[in-house]
Structure 1
Amino acid sequence: MSTTVAQAPAPPATSTPQPPVRRPDRRRRRALWMHVPLALCAVVTFFPFWAMLVLSLQPKQGVELPGSLLPDSVSFDAYADALGSNQVYEWALNSAVYSLASVVLVLLFASMAGYAFAKKRFLGREFVFWLFVAMLMVPGHLTLIPLFIMVSEMGGLDTMWGMVVPTIANAQAMFLMRQFIQEIPDELLEAARIDGASEFRVYWSIILPQTKPIMATLGTFVFLWHWNDFLWPLVSQRSPGNYVLTVGLNSLQEQDTELATTMAASVITFVPTVVVFVLLQRFFVRGVMMSGLK
């Protein structure tokens, strides 16, 4: 008698799952195509600086475009001529004093005003604030003549303080500081007052440390504005010894100075702005990001 053993049915064959076919990401390709116009804009923006640098390295040579933009040889004689003049050092010192003094005073008064408008309650606060905001809509050229008359009556023409003081009241800086300080919790200020801190101590120990990002951003902008300022220093200063670099470079053109020397002086003027931006870049980016989030 034979017995048959029933065999269990074999399990169905399972196929190994194939990895999904990776298709090119459309978003990534779109992002790459968006970088093309940005790169072109960067090249167009960088071109004047490249021309300034290249022309400063070709003294006593005629300018022929586009050949002069790709020089065969370079020389630093123009930089030696520019730095060999005592006037350039005087103009650089005047620009540094004008810019740094304006940065310190603008940030000081803008932070004080921003603190008052953001955290204080007083009669006419909103009216005065919007009056300051309305100043942003008035072009600076319209106030140039009244400002010149006021400074002249106070004896500030051809003086450093007469050039610095009119730039202290910066409505845009005050507005940005006020918007930033509004986000600081009131509980921090109340806790400091309960501990016996005076209003100045609250401002100095609570407000200022919290506003470092926006102050670094504003400080960078204010420095660049005043370092590159031309019109007001030109109007308020008469003697060449009180010129800033921008006005001094303009006077070099009137003296028939060689083009390479003028370009070399322009490069020297441009270097401090790059150094300031590199040193404050992380604060600058952080301030812009925090302002955007708020």
Structure 2
Amino acid sequence: MTVSTAPQTTSPPTTPTGSKPLARGRRRRPGLMHLPLILAAVITAFPFYAMIVISLQPGQPIDLPGSLFPAVISYDSYQEVLGNSRIFQWAFNSAVYSIASVVLVLVFASMAGYAFAKKTFFGREVIFWSFVAMLMVPYHLTLIPQFIIVSEMGGLNTLWGLTVPTLANVQAMFLMRQFIRDIPDELIEAARIDGAGEFRIYWSIILPQTKPIMATLGTFVFLWHWNDFLWPLVAQRTPDMYVLTVGLNSMQQQETVLATTMAGAVIIFVPTLLIFICLQRFFVRGVVMSGLK
């Protein structure tokens, strides 16, 4: 009896008909989904590109679309803007207005959010929803009463008069309250058992848990105040007290060339970009966590 020793061949497993086109379709779908996002990104970034390119062409007529691809680049418009004797004073005023507003808005909003989220007192819901209802009142309707109150208090043409009326930020308080509500009550109860007072609980328990939302709100508040134009235009009377937006607008009224105006806009834009880059990690985390909640 002989045994065959011929090598046995194994055929590769067969795949069902149509599997390859399905795999190719799955690989193509992410690329197709990215096309609208890429298009939206290009449309969003185009005004910034045009602003920078035009600012680098001083003394030349703007001819679109040719001006969007300059052959010669010059920094004369930036030298003209930075050569203004008041530009650094305007930048200082804008920095004080924005930074002070960010710090105080976050402190007041986090305190109010903690009270409305974790404390129990008479009329809590009525007071909270009364504040939220104020969001439906257009800001322009409150501008004249706000101006009259600040004027009677002697706050016109001062930095404190510019900053104080903007500290009651209902949107920030609402977002802080919604975020703090999801902090476990067990953490607060454990701190009370260990003998911590209310301020210690707020400082050591609440604030560390709210870093993502505070970074997000801080970015938004800084952008709102750094780019604010209407209220500084009304409240500040002398050129030395102008913020950057109002100061550059006054330069534009003096028949400044478009390249110089665009250079000033780029200077205003750079600090906001740096703030976003520094806080991007916390900003994205805060947005994602807010969406999950």
Please say whether Structure 1 and Structure 2 have the same fold, judged by a TM-score greater than 0.5. yes
Matched, 1:16 2:15: no
Paired residues in the alignment total 289
Deviation at residue 25 of structure 1 after TM alignment? 4.4
Match of 1:203 in 2: 202
Matches within 5 A, 1:40-189: 40-189=39-188
* Cα distance between partner residues in 1 of 2:91 and 2:52: 19
Deviation digits for residues 72-125 of structure 1, max 9, x if unmatched? 110111111111112111111111110000000000000000000000000000
Match of 1:231 in 2: 230
* Cα distance between partner residues in 2 of 1:65 and 1:7: 87
* Cα distance between partner residues in 1 of 2:245 and 2:10: 79
* Cα distance between partner residues in 1 of 2:107 and 2:24: 50
Amino acid at match of 2:196: A
* Cα distance between partner residues in 2 of 1:60 and 1:15: 76
TM-score by length of 2: 0.93
Shifted more, 283-292 versus 41-50: the winner is: 41-50
Match of 1:287 in 2: 286
* 3-state SS in 1 of match to 2:255: coil
Shifted more, 28-37 versus 12-21: the winner is: 12-21
Deviation at residue 14 of structure 1 after TM alignment? 5.2
* 3-state SS in 2 of match to 1:60: coil
Match of 1:221 in 2: 220
Deviation at residue 39 of structure 1 after TM alignment? 1.9
Matched, 1:37 2:24: no
* Cα distance between partner residues in 2 of 1:159 and 1:213: 33
Change (3 A) 1:17 1:263: same
Gaps of 5+ in 2: none
Change (3 A) 1:15 1:80: same
Match of 1:190 in 2: 189
Amino acid at match of 1:15: S
Amino acid at match of 1:172: Q
Deviation digits for residues 165-190 of structure 1, max 9, x if unmatched? 01100000000000010011111111
Percent identical: 71
Change (3 A) 1:22 1:143: same
Change (3 A) 1:29 1:15: closer
Deviation digits for residues 28-81 of structure 1, max 9, x if unmatched? 433322322222222222121111111111111111111111111101111111
TM-score by length of 1: 0.93
